[in-house]
Amino acid sequence: DAKTTQPPSMDCAEGRAANLPCNHSTISGNEYVYWYRQIHSQGPQYIIHGLKNNETNEMASLIITEDRKSSTLILPHATLRDTAVYYCIVRVATGAGGTSYGKLTFGQGTILTVHP
């Protein structure tokens, strides 16, 4: 699986949008971009994933550049509870049934601190 590069830490004011960047310049055509977060002393929580189109769910938006070499996770209105380590992971994932999944390999992630 392709490697990812994330800034080690970021700060964000409560109520503002948090934009977390991720570089994955060696991503392959069959690799998805996944985002997870880990709040202190808890298991990781799935946030969102995408292949090439922008994605949005109730938690966040994922913006993937046209060349797929980088992406940005957007938390539109950050709260104190969003303080966590955010992991950007590139992973092979093919279709349903007889599927072959790549491993989720965690890097160091970005420590996002949301302050009042």
Partner 1 sequence: GAVVSQHPSWVICKSGTSVKIECRSLDFQATTMFWYRQFPKQSLMLMATSNEGSKATYEQGVEKDKFLINHASLTLSTLTVTSAHPEDSSFYICSAYGTSGTKSSYEQYFGPGTRLTVT
Residue recorded with tokens 């539109």: 76
- Quick one: 8 or 116, whose CB is closer to partner 1? 8
Least distance between partner 1 and beta carbon 43 (Å)? 4
- Quick one: 103 or 116, whose CB is closer to partner 1? 103
- Site map (CB under 8 A) of partner 1, residues 15-54, x = contact: -----------------x---x-x--xxxxxx--x-----
Instruction: Classify the C-alpha dihedral 111-44-47-78 as positive or negative.
Output: negative
| CA-based R_g, the chain, Å | 14
d(CA 113, CA 101): 32
Q: Which of 109, 110, 112, 114 binds partner 1 (CB under 8 A)?
A: 109
Site for partner 1 in 73-102 (CB under 8 A): 87, 93, 96-97, 99, 101
Q: Which of 63, 74, 92, 104 binds partner 1 (CB under 8 A)?
A: 104
d(CA 97, CA 36): 24
Longest alpha-carbon distance in the chain: 47
Q: Is 90 helix (H, G, I), strand (E, B) or coil?
A: strand
* Chain contacts with partner 1 (rule: CB under 8 A): 32, 36, 38, 41-46, 49, 87, 93, 96-97, 99, 101, 103-109
